Amino acid sequence: MKRILSNLNMLAAVLLAFVLVLMANFISLNNPVRLDWSGRQYYALSEKTVNLLEGLDQRVNVVVFFQEEHPLYHEIENLLEEYQYHSRNIHVEWVDPARDRARTEQLANQYGLTEAQVVVFDMDGKSKVVRQADIVDSKMVKGRKEPVISAFKGEQAFSSAIQGLMQGKPPVVYFLVGHGEKRVTEFDQISGYSKIGTLILRDNLEVKELMLNSEKKIPDDAAVLVVAGPTKNMSAVESEMIEDYLSRSGRVMLLLDALKETGLEPMLRRWGVALRNDFVIDPDNTLKGSDVYIRTYYEHPITLRMGDAGARFHLPRSVEPLDTKNADTPAEDRPTVVQLAMTSDKSWSETQVDEPSPKYDENTADLRGAMSLAVAVERGATQKLLDVQIRPSRMVVFGDSDFVSNGALTGGDQDLFMSALNWLLDREVLMAIAPKPIEEIKLSLTSRQLHNMFWINMVGIPLIAVAIGLLVWWRRRK
């Protein structure tokens, strides 16, 4: 009887332990905890993305068209695991374009895909395609024929896609036409804007053209109005329409070239922006003499993620904040103007535009020193009415329109333009996620260290194991 009770007690203990293991497993499955103990926190999501995922209340299907042998496969896999951890509404399907041809063809027809190595985000029939070029930054390295991946932008690209799908109807970006502006429908390899137009469309935005002389006001659905490189003067009525739209919490981007009168100068002065009739020369940051490579950015949401990425302006004009301290306008109603892109201290503002070889002349109106080539303007950001935040008016002014044309567009140019556009659209979440640099960790050993490692691993450790075995054998014999 005593033996039976002992066996029953043992059986009960085993069953209890089994139940405890099941309970612990159930709790861990429903309340998972992930800890990133790596030094660089490479796959840890930013606070912006975490907040975005916590507010996600609809299912998002993610289809990844990457082969397992691709260098980015595991990068994307690890990142999407983090997205799934923070939101149960993220569902991932992996499709190998080389092995699963039937499924690839079906999804390619469904999403209109013409290339592999893409990630598709689908929410309730709306989709956003993220291409490999949107996920990484590449650069040429001396001694290598192929570009080398320098930074991973997966989080920025994936969060952008999800936020764009959550917005519902895409915001409309209007490009003004009728005054010689550059057009997103122009595919000219030098001066066209078709490339930047395609990038805007990929960011889940709608692009339309607008001719003011056929309108009574800026359309109500305009999220942003872009005026890109006008070559003819606008009428006073058209300028008033733009300023009226801007005053009603509108968003405007102006890309104004040197030596061009646009008719917008009086409006810009009222908004605290000065345009000089000049072009800027920077001998320390130029390749051809007429271009300026931007290396210095002021702190602003637009430039937050620029890092070392440089934009190259072509024969730019200076765009400077005006001193409005003595203006009659109350301080709370004055626009805040922030410089964005700066030249070096060796640059100057050239006003002798007819000279074949520009040079600084202190006896003229030329100014020497660091020049601002772009500004961000905001008004009404701190005003509140009955504890309700008023949507501020915002404007970005660039002193060049060629830096995002088809013949000049580079990674840094694209980043600066799209960051400015996202700021105007209140999409700061897309600008606060910086690319994560990819570091190559190499173990460099001298020949002496390699020699020592050989003797330790191939001779020393086996001999220790043999010695321990002999010692155990000898003790057992005794």
Average pLDDT over residues 386-391: 59
> 129 and 270 in one domain?
no
Q: Which of 94, 126, 155 is the last residue of a domain?
A: 155
Residue 111's CATH number: 3.40.30.10
> 184 and 149 in one domain?
no
Average pLDDT over residues 37-49: 71
**pLDDT tens per residue across span 253-272:** 999 999 889 999 999 999 99
Does residue 361 have a pLDDT over 90? no
Average pLDDT over residues 358-381: 81
> 144 and 192 in one domain?
no
Binning pLDDT at 50, 70 and 90, where does residue 385 land? very low
Token code pair at residue 471: 């010692």
H, E, C per residue of 321-371? ECCCCCCCCCHHHCCEEEEEEECCCCCEEECCCCCCCCCCCCCCCCEECCC
> 148 and 56 in one domain?
yes
| Mean pLDDT value across the chain | 84
- Percent of the chain surpassing pLDDT 90: 34
Average pLDDT over residues 134-141: 72
pLDDT of 334 = 83
Q: Which phi and psi angles does 121 have, rounded to 5°?
A: -110, 125
Can you tell me which residue has the tokens 């040079």? 359
In the chain, the amino acid numbered 196 is I
Please indicate, yes or no, if residue 240 is contained in any of the structural domains: yes
**pLDDT tens per residue across span 398-429:** 999 999 999 888 878 888 998 899 899 987 65
Please indicate, yes or no, if residue 137 is contained in any of the structural domains: yes
Nearest to 438 by CA among 141, 119, 49: 141
Average pLDDT over residues 432-446: 61
> 382 and 268 in one domain?
yes
Does residue 190 have a pLDDT over 70? yes
pLDDT of 387 = 47
> 180 and 142 in one domain?
no
Residue 202's CATH number: 3.40.50.880
Tell me the HSE value of 312 on the side-chain side, using a 13 A CA sphere: 14
Q: Which of 402, 424, 446 is the last residue of a domain?
A: 424
Please indicate, yes or no, if residue 104 is contained in any of the structural domains: yes
pLDDT of 439 = 59
> 182 and 68 in one domain?
no
pLDDT of 386 = 42
In the chain, the amino acid numbered 323 is D
Average pLDDT over residues 175-190: 91
pLDDT of 16 = 86
Average pLDDT over residues 329-357: 80
Token code pair at residue 322: 């005006």
Q: Which of 375, 407, 424 is the last residue of a domain?
A: 424
> 142 and 182 in one domain?
no
Binning pLDDT at 50, 70 and 90, where does residue 349 land? confident
> 269 and 176 in one domain?
yes
pLDDT of 136 = 81
Please indicate, yes or no, if residue 131 is contained in any of the structural domains: yes
> 367 and 232 in one domain?
yes
Compute, in degrees rounded to 10, the torsion defined by CA atoms 222, 227, 233, 234.
10
Binning pLDDT at 50, 70 and 90, where does residue 354 land? low
- Which has more pLDDT, 119 or 36? 119
> 179 and 148 in one domain?
no
Binning pLDDT at 50, 70 and 90, where does residue 145 land? low
Residue 375 and residue 320 in contact, taking contact as beta carbons nearer than 8 Å: yes
Q: Against a cut of 0.75, is the pTM above it?
A: no
- Which has more pLDDT, 351 or 247? 247
Please indicate, yes or no, if residue 16 is contained in any of the structural domains: no
> 149 and 57 in one domain?
yes
Please indicate, yes or no, if residue 447 is contained in any of the structural domains: no
Residue 364 and residue 318 in contact, taking contact as beta carbons nearer than 8 Å: no
Nearest to 176 by CA among 251, 248, 254, 237: 254
Token code pair at residue 444: 């460099």
Binning pLDDT at 50, 70 and 90, where does residue 331 land? low
The domain of 93 spans: 47-155
Please indicate, yes or no, if residue 28 is contained in any of the structural domains: no
Please indicate, yes or no, if residue 375 is contained in any of the structural domains: yes
Nearest to 314 by CA among 255, 252, 268: 255
Does residue 151 have a pLDDT over 60? yes
Give the end-to-end CA distance of the chain in Å, rounded to a whole number: 43
Average pLDDT over residues 147-159: 80
Count of domains observed in the chain: 2
H, E, C per residue of 16-51? HHHHHHHHHHHHHHHCCCCCCCCCCCCCCCCHHHHH
- Which has more pLDDT, 225 or 348? 225
